Every structure is written in C-alpha cells, then in structure tokens.
C-alpha cells in the first residue's frame, strides 16, 4: 500500500515527465495517460523487486532459487492434504450432530475417515480434528523456520 509520500513522489515524477515531454492533459489525454501508466508500472515493478516478490529471470541466483523451491511445494501439498482431511472430518461431525442422511460423497469421505479413526463417533471425530489442527500448526511453524533458513542462505551468499 503506497503511503502519502509515495503518492507525492509519483505525482512529482508524472508532472516532471509531462513538462519534459510537453504533454498537456487537455490537448492530448492519451499521451498523458500513457506517461502516467508508464510511471505507475515502473513504481509497481520497483516495489515488487525491492520486496523480493518479483525476481529477474536472467539472474542465475534467483533462477536457482526458483528451482530449489521443491520444499515449498511439498509443504503446500502436505498442508492441502491436512486441510482436506480436516474439512472432511468437520463435515462428517456436523452430519452426525444434525443426524443428516449419508450422501455419495459422504460415503467416500467416510471410508477415508474410517482408515484414520477406529470408530466414527462424535468424540473420536473431535479428537481427530484437534490432532489435525495441531499438525497444521506444527507444519506452519516448520515452514516459517525453513523459510527463515532459506532467506538467511540467500543473504549469506
């Protein structure tokens, strides 16, 4: 989010370019908008590069960093699986509490849950849900630790 000083700087740059290129907004609005668009684009790209959110593809170090992001993909896959199991368990718990009918998808999900839980009672599902939430928290902490290690490696090169 740009601050007031950022906006003032952008306005100064646009005014300077307009004066330098002798573009009057009333006479040639398209040229004025083009200049403003170029300035805004360059500001956004600079912000993204400075934050490290956008990498230069020509830079070998960043290309290597993208190739070595397999740990991040593995983390996202494992988190996705845990969230999926958590969602299935909460849906089954609400179905049991409200005494609703078992659907086709519910049957498939129920068979997946029976592999994890011995009996599908409300209490066993609640304990399973809490275990999954705990696992999710642990994954989040380990991801933060790994990310900090990776950032330190990049800075120490």
Six token digits for residue 12? 């100064």
Confidence of residue 1 (pLDDT cuts 50, 70, 90): low
Provide mean pLDDT across the span 16-30.
76
Task: Give 122 or 10, the one with higher predicted confidence.
Answer: 122
Residues 10 and 139: their CA atoms lie apart, in Å, by 41
Rounded to an integer, the average pLDDT of 132-154 is 90
Q: Is the pLDDT of residue 79 over 70?
A: yes
Residue 30: pLDDT over 60: yes
Q: What would the DSSP string read from start to end of 85-147? A: HHHHHHHHHHHHHHTPPP-HHHHHHHHHHHHH-SS--HHHHHHHHHHHHHHHHHHHHHHHHHH
CB 85 within 8 A of CB 116: yes
pTM over 0.85, yes/no: no
């Amino acid at each position: 989010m740009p601050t007031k000083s950022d906006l003032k700087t952008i306005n100064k740059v646009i005014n300077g370019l307009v004066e330098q290129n002798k573009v009057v907004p009333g006479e040639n609005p398209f040229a004025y908008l083009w200049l403003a668009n170029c300035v805004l684009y360059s500001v956004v790209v600079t912000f993204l590069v400075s934050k490290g959110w956008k990498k230069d593809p020509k830079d070998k170090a960043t290309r290597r960093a993208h190739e070595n992001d397999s740990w991040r993909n593995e983390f996202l896959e494992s988190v996705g699986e845990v969230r999926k199991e958590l969602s299935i368990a909460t849906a089954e718990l609400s179905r049991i509490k409200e005494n609703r009918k078992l659907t086709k998808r519910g049957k498939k999900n129920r068979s997946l849950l029976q592999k994890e839980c011995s009996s599908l009672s409300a209490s066993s599902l609640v304990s399973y849900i809490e275990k999954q939430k705990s696992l999710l928290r642990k994954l989040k902490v380990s991801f933060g630790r790994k990310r900090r290690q990776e950032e330190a490696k990049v800075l120490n090169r």
